[in-house]
Structure 1
Amino acid sequence: MKEPEKKLVFNTLLKQYAHFGLPTEGIDDKTDFTIHNLRDIHLELPFKSPVFRPNFFSFLFVKDGRGKYTTDNLTFDSSPGTIYFTNPGHYKSHEWFEIGEVYLITLSESFLKENVHPDIFEEFPFLLAETVHPRVLSPDAFFKFEQLYLQINKEYLSKSPYRNRLIGNLFVVLLLKIKEYFWKDYNPIYEGNRSSQIVKTFKRTLEQHYRDLSNGKIHQVFRVQDYADEQNLHPNYLSNVIKSKTGKPIGTWIAEKTIAEAKSLLQNSSTSIKEIAFILGFSESSHFSNYFKKYTDTSPVLYRKQHSTITS
């Protein structure tokens, strides 16, 4: 019997490129943000990737290039003037035939919340869209985006101690431009069919729930049953919809959100690790430490030591 094809899952662009055998010299492994011209990566064309699932956000700006990309079961062309983005959880593949200037930005949810906007999905709900169709802009319209991503690239390459904050502020402008040009009338709830609405509601509930936990508004961590109850669904049905529509089990969504919130609290607050464990629903700080290390390969203590923005 033929074994099923193994799907590749990557938490960082660095790991993705390393697996594909692509150059990684220009990628900073100390931050959850990258930007570069794909011309510097894809030295041999044509290039076709295997199917993979990234757990980070991607924004692509095609000034001069030609290729194709697939998100889940939808395939789109990449041509001059194309702008598109994808969010975590989708199965993707791409191929390139020509590359002149094609800039790719990738960033994690943690980076978005820490450096762009603390309520990122409330301010920019289109980021939760399941599949966003690309847009092809006129040269004049595209030029406005080019100015922004080139300035972001300049800051990314700088040695400024305020680099992430500068990138975050520029990225706010970039998202506002995307909102202006693409999603002026976007409705984050309406998505055409029942399953899409279920996924949208789950993602928004998940985001709001962890925001309330971090703010101390509530103290009870939701389980799958609670997310199902929010939509009057059987938990098995909700789990099946989330898995089939996003390619990721609901438990993985919850785990990744827990880790994202834990990282944010460890990095940006003086809250004790014991209290963080309690906030995120762990009865013992040792359980939280083991959980955190399982998903990050480091302990909460070491992560805070390496990433804390709080000065003594």
Structure 2
Amino acid sequence: MARQTISSIPTCMGADLKSKGFKVHEITDIVPAAEVQARRDFYKIVMVTGDFVLKFGDKTVDIDGTYLFFANPNVLHTIIPRSLQRSGYGCAFTEDFIAGREMTELVHNSPLFRSAESPVLPLNADQVAFLTGIYKKLLAVYHSDYDHRDDLFRNCIELIIHEALQIRPVNQDLREHNAATRVTRSFLELLEKQFPIDAPSAPLKLRTAQDFAQSLSVHTNYLNRTVKAVTGKPTSVLIAERIIAEARALLHHTDWSVADIAYGLGFEYPTYFNNYFKRITGTTPNAVRASKV
């Protein structure tokens, strides 16, 4: 069965976003498509009922039921449908649409949009009913002439995010009040702030545990120990996963040469990048780029 990007839920979403910065749409049965859209255009919050496999970055989640999904524009998202029966709602918004200190900080600092964590939340019947009401309100106002609709859209986005933060399992939250989780959260935020890479001339600066430890003013061994204790993964693995996710996105969604991608990700020589990429993924950058055709 053909693959399609999560950005094709719905496929008409992109054109409207370019002019207004916001789109809301009801999801109905979808015919699989091979369409691939640019990843850097917008954030998405999708409530969907269906049976499919969701891939984001290098992670995979099986979806069977009703879930809330948060799409970060810096990470490639793909769905592999197992059934064409799908329903729900989706809203999408650009970076410019949420411009403003409080709204921008809410989105940028929310763990729901962090690439290092799962952006998928299972919903119960009460949660589905509550969120359905919000989406229906969004749809009604979207098709109206209400003068302050953009303000209402932003308020509803915030309401969905806050509802999701309450739903999110406690064991996924890195906000516990102890030194280890504070350091880990600072590390993850510092890692994420480096992306997306916008130009080869502005390369990635922090690429090793030592780099991050120095920036956070902690010992490398302490950083490694606390990050592993909180996330279950070594610091080096989290860094590598994020670099590889960015590399894949650049290979699929830009016309940069492999050499430019290597320089943008902080590699001194393209051969170093090729060896690094193949060691972690088992394939080459050129093979990944060729696979998008």
Partner of 1:165: 151
The answer (yes or no) to whether the contact 1:69–1:76 under 8 Å persists in 2 is yes
2:88 to 89, 92, 102: 102
5+ residue gaps, structure 2, are 196-201, 221-235, 251-260, 266-293
2:174 matches 1:187: yes
Q: Distance in 1 between matches of 2:157 and 2:242?
A: 29
Residue identity matched to 1:127: F
Q: Distance in 2 between matches of 1:145 and 1:198?
A: 32
Residue identity matched to 2:16: I
Partner of 1:62: 48
Q: Cα–Cα, structure 1 residues 169 and 196, in superposed 2: closer, same or farther, change >3 Å?
A: closer
Backbone CA RMSD of aligned residues = 4.7
Shift of 1:184: 4.8
- 2:98 is paired with a residue whose SS is helix
Q: Distance in 2 between matches of 1:98 and 1:66?
A: 8
Q: In percent, how many aligned pairs have the same letter?
A: 12
1:207-248 Cα shifts (integer Å, max 9, x gaps): xxxxxxxxxxxxxx99947x8662579xxx999775324335
Q: Cα–Cα, structure 1 residues 159 and 252, in superposed 2: closer, same or farther, change >3 Å?
A: farther
Shift of 1:49: 3.9
Q: Distance in 1 between matches of 2:163 and 2:169?
A: 10
Partner of 2:130: 144
Partner of 2:103: 117
Q: Cα–Cα, structure 1 residues 69 and 169, in superposed 2: closer, same or farther, change >3 Å?
A: same
Q: What TM-score do the two structures reach when normalised by structure 1?
A: 0.53
5+ residue gaps, structure 1, are 1-7, 207-220, 254-312
Shift of 1:165: 0.5
| Paired residues for 1:202-213 under 5 Å | 202-203=191-192
| Paired residues for 1:261-280 under 5 Å | none
Q: Cα–Cα, structure 1 residues 122 and 85, in superposed 2: closer, same or farther, change >3 Å?
A: closer
2:73 matches 1:88: yes
Residue identity matched to 2:166: E
1:166-212 Cα shifts (integer Å, max 9, x gaps): 111111111110011115561169999x9997553233588xxxxxx
The answer (yes or no) to whether the contact 1:135–1:182 under 8 Å persists in 2 is yes
Give the structure, 1 or 2, with the largest relative contact order (CA under 8 Å, sep 6 or more).
2
Shift of 1:135: 2.6
Shift of 1:143: 0.9
- 1:119 is paired with a residue whose SS is helix
Partner of 2:243: 243
2:116 matches 1:130: yes
1:85-120 Cα shifts (integer Å, max 9, x gaps): 121222222134224522122222332343972422
2:54 matches 1:77: no
The answer (yes or no) to whether the contact 1:86–1:132 under 8 Å persists in 2 is no
Residue identity matched to 1:32: G
Residue identity matched to 1:244: I
Q: Distance in 1 between matches of 2:264 and 2:215?
A: 19
Partner of 1:177: 163
Shift of 1:155: 2.0
- 1:84 is paired with a residue whose SS is strand
Shift of 1:29: 3.4
- 2:100 is paired with a residue whose SS is helix
Q: Distance in 2 between matches of 1:184 and 1:38?
A: 30
